[in-house]
């Protein structure tokens, strides 16, 4: 009805316009869409026809609109059905917009439509069953929407459809057989839908015009039907990432047009079918990650393959010699099979090989010298085989190489001189071979080298000075070789170096002194060499070092006191010639093994300093014990005497009149208020804020509580950083305390009860043995807070605040979130405390009305507070963000170190100028860096200057949980298409100690 009236309405509204009827329809469409980028700004009513408008194409002669192409125009809103009013429209593309809601059924009135592209939009609901009513439709692309449910039965009735693409939707019925009826189809793309598990319908073999069949990740099970062999026009067959079983049918060798076959990531068994030489057009075969076995057939290698991926199967036997004749082969990935024998010795002579990965097989013999003959080789991955002989000299000239992994083979002889200095190589792994000779000076040319792994070989000679030029070097693992001489002076120039492991060599001379540039050094292992001289005190300044092993050398002199400041996971100075007194912090049992075998080293540890004769010390020890016992006795007697004296003194002086107290309790109490009053002595004070003192009171039942004593009208003014003024003067005290007392949440400190007298109020809380987060984090004990603990504290506190904001009715704004108000129980579980200035937000949202005093503490106050003087949940979230930043950086919210800035600004500028490593607390173990960074980002989000950009507390909890669960992300596999050796971190391969 409305549609019918529209032309009428528009002619009333725009009586002077000479725009054609089609133009008027398009005007309406323009107004029905949200167009933030003004993509349709030239759709104006001054023109006579719409033919010159953006995205509109007309018939030259008749000026009727033929096509509407508004792809990537950032338009939003439902599909404009009015388009179907254009009587001669054949083409619609709204690709990559935000077209939302469901696709209307009256789309079927677009009778003339041939091409409909609505891919990459936000369409939802069912696929309209009426689409096949479009008699001329040849192209239908609905990729990348949220269509759900089944493919309607009617889809079997398309008359002229050539392309049907429903990739990346939420279709969840089984793949229907009637698709086999659309005999005109050339392309059927259904990949990445959560279809109900089912087989490939054999009927698809009827689609003899089909050129592309793309069924990746469609939950397909069962066997590949033989009928697919009838698709003799097929160029692309993609059945990857399903759960297909059984053999690859021999009929697939009838696909004589096929260029590309993707079968990876299924459970296919058996061998590659014979007769593949019939597939003369085949360029790419990927059958990786199946359970295929048998030999790689020789006739496969007679094809002009470009890419052959058969990794992670059980192929066995040798590689056919003919593969070396493949003129176009650039990618050969056969890792993790059971292939053996020698490689064809002219491999690479005729092929522009670029990526070759033969790792984890049983290949033997020498590496073909021709591998890089075409100068294209970038990745040469051959670890875990039995290759022997020398690395061919020709590879020393292979300038294109970027990644070389030849570890865990039986290679021997000297490494070609040029091989050390290839300019684009960033990973050179030769570990665990029998290579010998020196590290060549040409290494100076390895401008991109960042990981050098040459451990467990027979390399000898001294490490060349030129190593100091490899300025991108991050890891140098050369342990278990015969390297000798002194460490080159300029190895200390390597600013990126994170790991230096040269243990079990024959290095001599002294340790380098000027190590200031080793700002990233995390692991230093020089154990079992012949190093001598003193341990330079500079070692203590390597701020991110957490692995230090210098054992088994000839180091002498004292243990530098500076080492005490380091946070080391591994620390070993044993079996050296160190002497003198042990620095006091090391005099602990856990450090004993770090110092054993240094005969001259003395400290109060068993096994150290054996030379201090036992007999001599025996006498002293007796004398010392006597003196100690005597002193102890005197002390105990004194204390007892003092206690009795003091108690009588106090009783006489107690002035509080118990009868004047009124009690308000929120929990079943195991104590009386009088018991508490009795214990409020100055010697029980554990803290003191602007509003009162806090006492720890141990009750007769053994339980401890914390009592906060507030004095009416005696509130101090803002004490620089502690602006804690609040309801002490407020008459709503009781009402609010009542609300707070009813809160029960594991992450909120429990308020047991509240006692009031004329001039004094007492709040009795549960006692938190580990004090406040602020105290702990910013004290010398911050070492107790490792990252997992800090993360849990953040999550706990977020949980508590989320409860206040979202689960309390009415919602409660804390108003003074800060690390000092997050208390820690015995297990470092965190609880939010001190609603000193908390206000209940009433439903009308006017919660801030009574706030005439400043809320919050310096450094935690959200920026908008300066001009709005209003506090709401978003200000709490800002303050909580500051707490997160404190946890990540270990720094105070305001610190003279930051100059004018506060912590938030400091983090932002430091991140920009120096990078994340300068922001994260150096005391945190670097292995958590990824998670720390995620949490840092959450902190930054919470401290967004604009309140609207801050996530809600509930969202913060969610974000934190997500950051915590991704501790071991599965890197290295993008849709299972890439070799694990490609991304794999060297340490995963056992080549790192
Ligand atoms: C569709 O997009 C329009 C324009 O942005 C928006 O106003 C509307 O709420 C959206 N509808 C749905 C169902 O998301
Ligand atoms: C446009 O469509 C109308 C109605 O179907 C038809 O009469 C007319 O001939 C068509 N015009 C052109 C140029 O195709």
Q: Per 3-state DSSP, what percentage of the chain is helix, strand, and coil (rounded to 5)?
A: 30, 20, 50
Q: Are 881 and 794 in contact (CB under 8 A)?
A: no
CB atoms within 10 A of CB 153: 11
Catalytic, 825? Answer no
Higher pLDDT, 772 or 647: 772
Query: Residue 112: nearest ligand to its CA?
Result: 2
> Which residue from 29, 32, 34, 125 has its CB within 8 A of the most atoms of ligand 1, so it is best to mutate?
34
pLDDT of residue 734: 65
* CB distance 255 to 275 below 8 Å: no
C-beta 87 within 6 A of ligand 2: yes
Beta strand 600-602 with 570-572 is unpaired
Is the link from the previous residue into 810 a cis peptide, with omega within 30 of 0?
yes
**pLDDT confidence bin for 849, thresholds 50/70/90:** very low
> Can you tell me the mean pLDDT for 571-589?
87
Nearest ligand to the CA of 33 is: 1
pLDDT(969) > 70: no
**d(CA 100, ligand 1 centre) in Å:** 6
Is 66:89 a contact under the CB 8 Å cutoff?
Answer: yes
Ligand 1: atom nearest CA of 100 is: 1
Q: Ligand 1 atom 6: the closest Cα is on which residue?
A: 77
State how far the Cα of 471 lies from the Cα of 589, in Å rounded to an integer. 40
Nearest CA to ligand 2 atom 13: 62
Which of 392-406, 450-464, 853-867, 895-909 is predicted least confidently? 853-867
Sign of the C-alpha dihedral computed for residues 696, 699, 702 and 706 taken in this order: negative
Cα separation, 492 vs 515, in Å, equals 6
Cα-to-centroid distance, 309 and ligand 2 (Å): 53
Residue 913 has pLDDT above 90, yes or no: no
Per-residue pLDDT, 782: 79
Residue partners of 587: CB distance under 8 A and separation at least 6 = 603, 604, 605
Task: Point out the ligand nearest to the CA of residue 87.
Answer: 2
For atom 5 of ligand 2, the residue with the nearest CA is: 87
Average pLDDT on 68-81 reads 95
Residue 264 pLDDT greater than 60, yes or no: yes
- Measured distance CA(25)–CA(253) in Å, rounded: 54
What is the pLDDT averaged over residues 81-108? 93
Terminal CA-CA length for the chain: 78
pLDDT value of residue 899: 77
Average pLDDT over residues 120-128: 94
How confident is residue 609, by pLDDT bands cut at 50, 70 and 90? Answer: low
- What are the E-state strand segments in 585-727? 600-602, 662-665, 685-688, 692-698, 704-711
Residue 694: its pLDDT value, please?
Answer: 81
3-state secondary structure of 722: strand
CA of 107 to the centre of ligand 2 (A): 19
Write out the two tokens for 278: 């019939």
Measured in Å, residue 62 CA sits from the centre of ligand 2 at: 9
Q: Specify the pLDDT at position 206.
A: 96
Query: Residue 698: its pLDDT value, please?
Result: 82
* Segment among 318-327, 431-440, 704-713, 760-769 with least mean pLDDT: 704-713
Atom of ligand 2 nearest to the CA of 64: 13
Q: Which of 355-359, 403-407, 815-819 has the lowest mean pLDDT?
A: 815-819
Cα 470 to Cα 425, 431, 682: the distances in Å are 11, 19, 64
* pLDDT at site 151: 96
Q: How far is the CA of 166 from the centre of ligand 1 (A)?
A: 23
Residue 806, both tokens: 């979202």
Ligand 2, residue 59: give the atom nearest the CA. Answer: 13
> pLDDT digit string (tens) for 395-404?
999 999 999 9
Question: What pLDDT was estimated at residue 873?
Answer: 84
Ligand 2 proximity of 844 Cβ (cutoff 6 Å): no
Which of 75, 76, 145 to mutate for ligand 1's pocket (most ligand atoms within 8 Å of CB)?
Answer: 76
Q: Between residues 970 and 367, which one has the greater pLDDT?
A: 367
Looking at 35, 117, 286, 816, which residue is catalytic? 816
| pLDDT for res 754 | 78
Q: What is the pLDDT of residues 195-219, one digit of tens each?
A: 999 999 999 999 999 999 999 999 9
Q: Are 809 and 888 in contact (CB under 8 A)?
A: no
- Residues of the binding site: 709
Position 199 scores a pLDDT of 96
Give which of 662, 838, 666 is closest to 750, Cα–Cα: 666
Q: Which atom of ligand 2 is nearest to the CA of 87?
A: 2
How would residue 735 be classed by pLDDT, with cut points 50, 70 and 90? low
Atom of ligand 2 nearest to the CA of 62: 13
- Residue with tokens 């297990």, as numbered in its chain: 827
Does residue 147 or residue 698 have the better pLDDT?
147
Q: How far is the CA of 78 from the centre of ligand 2 (A)?
A: 27
> What's residue 576's pLDDT?
95
Q: Which atom of ligand 2 is nearest to the CA of 61?
A: 13
pLDDT in tens, 751-802: 888 777 666 677 888 888 888 898 888 887 877 888 999 999 999 999 999 9
Tell me, what's the pLDDT at 852?
36
* Residue 227 predicted with pLDDT over 60: yes
Weakest mean pLDDT among 16-25, 590-599, 983-992: 983-992
Burial string for 463-500 (b: 16+ CB within 10 Å, else e) reads bbebbbbbeebbbbbbbbbebbebbbeebbbbebbbbb
Among protein residues, the one with the nearest Cα to ligand 1's atom 7 is: 77
Q: What Rg, from alpha-carbon coordinates, does the chain have?
A: 38
| pLDDT band per the 50, 70, 90 thresholds, residue 672 | confident
**Does residue 100's CB lie within 6 angstroms of at least one atom of ligand 1?**
yes
Q: Report whether pLDDT(405) > 60.
A: yes
* Nearest ligand, measured from the Cα of 79: 1
In this predicted structure, the answer to whether residue 640 has a pLDDT above a threshold of 90 is no
Q: Whose CA is nearest to atom 2 of ligand 1?
A: 77
* DSSP per-residue letters across 91-115: EEE--SSEEEEEPPGGGGG-TT--E
The rounded distance, in Å, linking the Cα atoms of 162 and 207 is: 11
- Average pLDDT, stretch 151-171? 95
Closest-CA residue, ligand 1 atom 9, reads 77
Q: Where are the alpha helices (DSSP H) in 691-748?
A: 733-741
Ligand 2 near 88 CB (within 6 A): yes
**Mean of pLDDT values over 380-405:** 96
pLDDT at 51 over 90: yes
Examine the pLDDT at 979 and tell me if it is beyond 50: no
Spatial contact of 456 and 477, defined as CB atoms under 8 Å apart: no
H/E/C letters for each residue in 820-880?
HHEEECCCCCEEECCCCCCEECCCCCCCCCCCCCCCCCCCCCCCCHHHHCCCCHHHHHHHH
Annotated binding site for ATP: 709
For 513, 552, 596, 606, 784, the CA distances from 583, given in Å and listed in that order, are: 21, 20, 15, 15, 21
Helix (H) / strand (E) element for 58: namely strand 56-58
Share of the chain above pLDDT 90, in %: 57
Report the separation in Å between the CA atom of 818 and the middle of ligand 2, taken as the mean of its atom positions. 72
Q: Which segments within 562-691 are labelled E, that is strand? A: 570-572, 577-581, 600-602, 662-665, 685-688
Is residue 842's pLDDT more than 50? Answer: no
Average pLDDT of the chain, as a whole number? 84
Whether residue 620 has pLDDT greater than 70: no
Matching residue, tokens 């939802």:
124
In the predicted model, is pLDDT for residue 837 greater than 70? no
């Amino acid at each position: 009805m409305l549609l019918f009236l529209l032309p009428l309405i528009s002619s009333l509204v725009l009586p002077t316009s000479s725009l054609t009827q089609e133009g008027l329809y398009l005007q309406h469409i323009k107004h029905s869409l949200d167009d933030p980028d003004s993509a349709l700004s030239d759709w104006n009513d001054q023109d006579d026809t719409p033919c010159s408008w953006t995205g509109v194409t007309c018939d030259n002669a008749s000026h009727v609109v033929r096509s509407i192409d508004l792809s990537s125009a950032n338009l939003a809103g439902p599909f404009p059905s009015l388009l179907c009013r254009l009587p001669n429209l054949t083409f619609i593309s709204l690709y990559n917009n935000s077209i939302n809601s469901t696709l209307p059924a009256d789309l079927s009135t677009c009778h003339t439509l041939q091409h409909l592209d609505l891919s990459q939009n936000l369409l939802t609901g069912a696929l309209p069953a009426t689409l096949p009513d479009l008699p001329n439709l040849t192209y239908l692309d609905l990729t990348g929407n949220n269509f759900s449910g089944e493919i309607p039965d009617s889809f079997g009735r398309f008359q002229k459809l050539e392309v049907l693409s429903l990739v990346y939707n939420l279709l969840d019925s089984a793949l229907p057989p009637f698709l086999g009826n659309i005999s005109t189809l050339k392309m059927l793309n259904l990949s990445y839908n959560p279809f109900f598990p089912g087989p490939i319908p054999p009927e698809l073999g009827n689609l003899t015009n089909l050129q592309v069949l793309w069924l990746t990740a469609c939950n397909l099970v069962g066997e590949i039907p033989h009928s697919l062999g009838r698709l003799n026009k097929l160029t692309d067959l993609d059945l990857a990432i399903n759960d297909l079983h059984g053999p690859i049918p021999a009929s697939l060798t009838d696909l004589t047009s096929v260029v590309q076959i993707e079968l990876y990531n299924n459970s296919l068994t058996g061998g590659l079918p014979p007769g593949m030489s019939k597939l003369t057009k085949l360029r790419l075969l990927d059958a990786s990650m199946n359970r295929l076995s048998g030999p790689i057939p020789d006739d496969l290698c007679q094809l002009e393959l470009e890419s052959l991926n058969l990794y992670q199967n059980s192929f066995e036997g040798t590689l056919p010699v003919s593969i070396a004749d493949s003129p176009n082969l650039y990618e050969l990935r056969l890792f993790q099979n059971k292939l053996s024998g020698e490689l064809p010795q002219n491999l690479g002579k005729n092929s522009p090989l670029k990526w070759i990965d033969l790792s984890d097989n049983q290949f033997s013999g020498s590496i073909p010298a021709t591998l890089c003959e075409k100068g294209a080789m970038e990745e040469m991955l051959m670890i875990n085989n039995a290759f022997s002989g020398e690395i061919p000299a020709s590879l020393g000239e292979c300038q294109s190489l970027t990644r070389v992994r030849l570890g865990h083979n039986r290679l021997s002889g000297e490494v070609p001189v040029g091989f050390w200095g290839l300019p684009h190589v960033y990973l050179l792994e030769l570990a665990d071979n029998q290579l010998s000779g020196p590290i060549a000076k040409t290494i100076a040319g390895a401008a991109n080298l960042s990981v050098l792994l040459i451990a467990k070989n027979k390399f000898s000679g001294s490490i060349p000075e030129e190593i100091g030029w490899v300025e991108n070097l991050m890891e140098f693992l050369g342990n278990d070789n015969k390297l000798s001489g002194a460490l080159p002076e300029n190895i200390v120039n390597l600013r990126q170096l994170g790991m230096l492991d040269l243990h079990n060599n024959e290095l001599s001379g002294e340790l380098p002194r000027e190590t200031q540039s080793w700002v990233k050094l995390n692991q230093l292992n020089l154990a079992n060499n012949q190093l001598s001289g003193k341990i330079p005190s500079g070692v203590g300044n390597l701020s991110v070092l957490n692995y230090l092993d210098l054992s088994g050398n000839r180091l002498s002199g004292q243990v530098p006191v500076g080492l005490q400041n380091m946070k080391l996971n591994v620390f070993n100075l044993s079996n050296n010639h160190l002497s003198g007194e042990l620095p006091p912090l090391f005099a602990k049992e856990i450090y004993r093994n770090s110092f054993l075998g240094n005969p001259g080293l003395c400290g109060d540890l068993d096994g150290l300093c054996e030379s201090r004769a036992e007999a001599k010390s025996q006498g002293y020890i007796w004398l010392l014990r006597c003196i100690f016992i005597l002193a102890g006795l005197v002390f105990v007697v004194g204390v007892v005497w003092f206690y009795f004296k003091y108690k009588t003194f106090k009783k006489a002086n107690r002035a509080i009149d118990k009868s004047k107290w009124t009690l308000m309790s929120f929990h079943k109490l195991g104590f009386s208020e009088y018991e508490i009053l009795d214990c409020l002595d100055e010697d029980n004070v554990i803290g003191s804020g602007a509003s009162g003192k806090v006492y720890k009171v141990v009750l007769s039942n053994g339980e401890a509580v914390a009592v906060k004593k507030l004095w009416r009208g005696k509130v101090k003014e803002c004490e620089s950083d502690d602006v804690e003024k609040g309801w002490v003067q407020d008459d709503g005290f009781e009402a609010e305390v009542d609300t707070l007392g009813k809160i029960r949440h594991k992450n909120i400190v429990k308020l047991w009860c509240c006692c009031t007298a004329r001039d004094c109020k007492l709040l009795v809380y549960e006692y938190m043995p580990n004090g406040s987060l602020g105290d702990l984090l910013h004290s010398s004990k911050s070492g107790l807070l490792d990252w997992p603990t800090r993360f849990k504290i953040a999550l706990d506190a977020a949980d508590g605040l989320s409860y206040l904001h979202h689960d309390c009715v009415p919602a409660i704004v804390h108003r003074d979130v800060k690390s000092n108000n997050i208390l820690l129980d015995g297990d470092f579980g965190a609880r939010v405390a001190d609603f000193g200035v908390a206000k209940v937000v009433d439903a009308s949202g006017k919660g801030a009305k009574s706030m005439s005093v400043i809320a919050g503490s310096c450094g935690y106050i959200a920026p908008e507070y300066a001009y709005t003087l209003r506090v709401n949940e978003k200000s709490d979230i800002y303050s909580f963000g500051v707490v997160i930043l404190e946890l990540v950086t270990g720094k105070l919210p305001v610190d003279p170190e930051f100059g004018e800035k506060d912590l938030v600004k400091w983090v932002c500028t430091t991140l920009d100028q120096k990078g994340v490593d300068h922001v994260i607390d150096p005391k945190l173990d670097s292995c958590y860096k990824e998670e720390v960074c995620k949490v840092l980002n959450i902190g930054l989000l919470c401290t967004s200057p604009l309140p609207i950009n801050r996530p809600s507390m509930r969202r913060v909890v969610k974000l934190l949980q997500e950051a915590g669960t991704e501790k071991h992300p599965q890197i290295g596999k993008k849709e299972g298409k890439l070799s694990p050796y490609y991304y794999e971190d060297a340490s995963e391969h056992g080549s790192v100690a």
